[in-house]
Structure 1
Amino acid sequence: MSDATARVDAWLWAVRIYKTRSLATAACRAGHVRVGGEKAKAAQPVRPGDEVRVRINGFDKILVVRQTISKRVGAALVAASVDDQTPPPPPRELTAFVPTRDRGAGRPTKRDRRNIEKLRGRYDDYEGV
Structure 2
Amino acid sequence: MRLDKWLWAARFFKTRSLAQQAVAAGRVQLNGERTKPAHEVKAGDMVVVRVAEWRWEVRVKALSERRGPAEEARKLYDETEASSAERERRRDLRRWGTEPAAALKGRPTKRDRRLLESMRHDDAEPPTREGN
CA distance in 2, matches of 1:43, 1:92: 36
1:87 to 57, 62, 84: 84
> RMSD across aligned C-alpha pairs, in angstroms?
2.8
Q: Name the residue aligned to 1:20.
A: 15
TM norm structure 2: 0.64
Deviation at 1:22, TM superposition (A): 0.6
Letter of the aligned partner of 2:24 in structure 1?
R
Q: Name the residue aligned to 2:111.
A: 108
> 1:46-125, aligned counterparts within 5 Å?
46-85=41-80, 86-88=83-85, 89-90=88-89, 91-92=92-93, 99=100, 105-108=108-111
1:9/1:43 contact within 8 Å kept: yes
2:59/2:79 contact within 8 Å kept: yes
TM norm structure 1: 0.66
1:10 to 5, 28, 35: 5
Higher alpha-carbon Rg:
1
Deviating more after overlay: 47-56 vs 84-93: 84-93
CA distance in 1, matches of 2:39, 2:63: 13
Deviation at 1:51, TM superposition (A): 0.5
Q: Which runs of 5+ in 1 are unaligned?
A: 1-5, 110-129
Deviation at 1:17, TM superposition (A): 0.7
Higher helix proportion (structure 1 or 2): 2
1:41 maps onto 2:42 in alignment:
no
User: Share of identical aligned residues, percent?
Assistant: 32
Q: For residue 48 of structure 1, give the secondary structure of its aligned residue in structure 2.
A: coil
Letter of the aligned partner of 2:110 in structure 1?
R
Higher relative contact order (CA 8 A, sep 6+): 2
Q: Which runs of 5+ in 2 are unaligned?
A: 113-132
Deviation at 1:21, TM superposition (A): 0.6
Count matched residues: 102
1:7/1:70 contact within 8 Å kept: no
